[in-house]
Structures are given as C-alpha cells and as structure tokens.
Amino acid sequence: MKRIFFLTILIILKMNTTKAQSGNYTYATVPTQFVNANGIKFAYRSYGKTGDIPVIYFNHLTANLDNCDPRIMDAIAANRQIISFDYRGIGATTGRQGESIADMAKDGIAFIHALGYNQVDIVAFSMGGFITQEILLAEPQLVRKAVLAGTGPRGGEGIPAVVSRTYSDIFKGLLTFRDPKFYLFFNQNKIGKAAARDFLSRLKERKENRDKKVKLYVLKKQLKAIKVWANEKPMDLSVFKLPVFIANGDNDRMVPSTLSNYMAKRFPNAQLKVYPDSGHGGIFQYHEEFIPQAIEFLNK
C-alpha cells in the first residue's frame, strides 16, 4: 500500500509539473508550485523544454524566487527545463533557515529527489555555489554538470569578509535608498552602475504573485553559515570529475575573483570565463555573453 501511495503522489506531482510547463510562460509569469521534502514545503518555479535532466538554479544569499535574472532563466528555458526554488525558511518555503551550508545542501538534495530526479545539471550563483560543492561531496552522482558563478571554494581566502562587506553595503543601500545588490554585485563606475540599474529593473518584471519577502533573521543565519564554511578545511576538488563551467567578474568584492582561478585549476574538468570591468554580478552584467556560453556548456 505504501508503494502504491508513493507512486500515486509521484504521478500527481509530475502531472502538476507538466501542467505548469505546458503554457507559454516566461519567468515573469510562470506559476509558483510546492513540494514537500525533508519536512519542508518548498516553493519552486519550473518551466521550459522538458527532458530527462533538468537544470536546477541555486541562488545567492537571502535570495527568494524573485531574485533570479529573468533573462538568464528564460534563455535556459528555451533550451532546457529550468527549476528555481526557495531555500528553507526563505520566501514561501516553510521552516527555519538552515544552520550550515551542509544543511542547505541536504535540503537541496531532498528537494531534487522529491521532484523525482536522480540526476540534474546545476547553475549556481554565489552562496548557491557553496551549496553545490557540498552536494557534490554528499551525493556526487546527482550532478551531471555544474555552472559555478561568482563563487569560491570552502576555506577560500577572503570569503569570511563577505559578512562585513554585506553589512556595509546594506547600510550604504539604506542611506541611498537603493537595493544593496547595486553595490554588492556591480562596480561603482559608469558601466557598472548602468548594469546594476538594468539588472534590478529586470528583477521587477514579475508584477503578480511575487514571492514573500525575506526576513531579517535569515540574513544573520546565512552570513553566519557562510563565515563558518569559509573557515573550514578546504575541500579536495580534484576528486570531482564532472564538467564544470566557472564564471565571474574580474573585480568580485564579495568572493575574490582569484578564487575562480583557483577552482578552475583544482577541478580536473573545468573551463573558466572571467568578464572584464565587472564584479560579483558579472554574469548579470554580461548576460548576453554568458547565456550562450552556459547553454552550450550544458547542452553539449
């Protein structure tokens, strides 16, 4: 009876997912769905060209579903099924924020399996890249390919400073009535400021059924988790044989750009792209260049 019940739930889940993908959606219009895993009700959005292996998007610090760049999401959806989700305690996902990066990885694994997948590709940005590396350690066969953008390795030099930089730029954002990502993600020159305005404008394209705002305690919890992770023993990246595409700006204040070079040398099957005159959000500033590069990598 338990087996029949499980199969019935799985069929219903896949029917609901297919229904969500059947419309001509963009990231601004795709409906939010829910799935239970690891004692949590996860909020997620899924659309695009269906296939055996979906692309799962792991987002940055304090990001909810509305913090995904619609240009990147829509471009991937034209080629592959793309799925974004809220971490535990974020947006419409239930529970309290995970205490560690490893906890977040366990939740991510449970979420993927709850959707019925045994293998996925991952596109991860910033903290999402930290989580992805812990997933590789816990269940390496789950990930076929990974795009790691604006991120670094466990124990990476300079990552602990994320905490002070984040609080500093949040304060600057409050003083200037700007989203902190304006400062955290982009260079503060003419080109960077224009890219920041364009990016933040894209995040507002969804007008209806937007996600729940992220609570302040989540920021404190996630920054603490990042600081602990950044001071832990480095991971041996050489054991992971999967193809990895590493991307970053050449002036990342959040996760030093030098760490992208470090990871590219440590992963045995890695390629690296560093975008000029850009910061932590290099893939957003150079989305027109990043998109075809990422899609080619994921599809070949």
Helix ranges restricted to H, the chain:
2-22, 70-77, 101-114, 127-138, 162-176, 181-184, 190-202, 216-230, 258-266, 282-285, 287-299
Indicate the pTM of the whole model: 0.91
Cβ atoms within 10 A of the Cβ of 136, count?
A: 22
Q: Report the candidate in 213, 16, 243, 1 with the shortest Cα–Cα distance to residue 114.
A: 16
Exposure on the CB side of residue 138, measured as CA atoms within 13 A: 16
Q: Report the candidate in 256, 280, 260 with the shortest Cα–Cα distance to residue 186.
A: 280
Predicted confidence pLDDT, tens digits, the chain (300 residues): 545 444 444 444 444 444 444 458 999 999 999 999 989 999 999 999 988 899 999 999 999 999 999 999 999 999 999 999 999 999 999 998 778 999 999 999 999 999 999 999 999 999 999 999 999 999 999 999 999 999 999 999 999 999 999 999 999 999 999 999 999 999 999 999 999 999 999 999 999 999 999 988 899 999 999 999 999 999 999 999 999 999 999 999 999 999 999 999 999 999 999 999 999 999 999 999 999 999 999 998
Residue 22: the pLDDT is 45
Q: From CA 257, how far away is CA 250, in angstroms rounded? A: 6
User: Which pLDDT tens digit goes with each residue over 290-300?
Assistant: 999 999 999 98
Q: Is 11 left (phi over 0), alpha (psi -120 to 50) or beta?
A: alpha
Q: From CA 247, how far away is CA 194, in angstroms rounded? A: 21
Which amino acid, residue 175? L
Q: How far is CA 49 from CA 78, 206, 293, in A?
A: 6, 21, 18
Tokens of 78: 């034209």
What is the percent of the chain with per-residue pLDDT over 70, rounded to a whole number?
Answer: 92
